[in-house]
Structure 1
């Protein structure tokens, strides 16, 4: 399970990034959000996926690298909540749900990864 959380993390980030980047024009219409914002969200997800994949693929990880992963998830959750708060008047319900849902998902990952940071230093 411990290693699986890292694979879940990198897979979810990569998938989210690819979908948002690939369909940013359509999502912009559906979400009533600027396409540039969606491209930014997609790019951040891809960059994050690269780092989390790097960690997931390793058999040994430093506690600092896991802490950084958890911190990045927590920071991204805050950014998503700020985006949702700033655009609450213009986002469609679907766009609002996506952005707040992403905040909840990555915030949950941050909590799990921080709690298990010592155990996550070694692959099972």
Structure 2
């Protein structure tokens, strides 16, 4: 999704009524998250500390999304606010499930 947002950042910025630099920041952050989570997904032996970093990264990103909403609340379009709020809710949900099932998601031999 981050690549699509990056490719169409001008159009998305115009629809959201949010500066293009902020849209680019969101897109690059999504690409970074995608790369990190994909690297964890393809590892045979997953380390719990790496998974915990993913969980805390998701929670941090939800706070960043909240900050973007607060920063642009008076100027952003309703669709822009809605999409960013939905992204925050989605990453909170991811963090919840990643935390709840953290021990099932890692290999026993690499949990230290």
TM-score by length of 1: 0.84
Q: Are 1:89 and 2:51 matched, yes or no?
A: no
Give 3-state SS (helix, strand or coil) of 2:83's partner: helix
Give 3-state SS (helix, strand or coil) of 1:118's partner: helix
Cα deviation per residue 1:24-55 (whole Å; 9 max; x = unaligned)?
Answer: 00011100000000000000010111110000
CA root-mean-square deviation: 0.8
What are the residue-to-residue correspondences of 1:1-124 with 2, within 5 Å? Answer: 16-122=1-107
Unmatched segments (≥5 aa) in structure 1:
1-15
Alignment partners' CA distance in 2, 1:60 and 1:115: 19
List structure 1 runs of 4+ shifted beyond 3 angstroms.
none
Deviation at 1:78, TM superposition (A): 0.9
Deviation at 1:19, TM superposition (A): 1.5
**Which of 1 and 2 has greater Rg?**
2
Alignment partners' CA distance in 1, 2:10 and 2:18: 10
Alignment partners' CA distance in 2, 1:108 and 1:43: 21
Cα deviation per residue 1:51-102 (whole Å; 9 max; x = unaligned)?
Answer: 1000001121011111011110111011101110111101101100111010
Aligned residues: 107
Unmatched segments (≥5 aa) in structure 2:
108-112
Alignment partners' CA distance in 2, 1:29 and 1:63: 41
Alignment partners' CA distance in 2, 1:73 and 1:97: 18
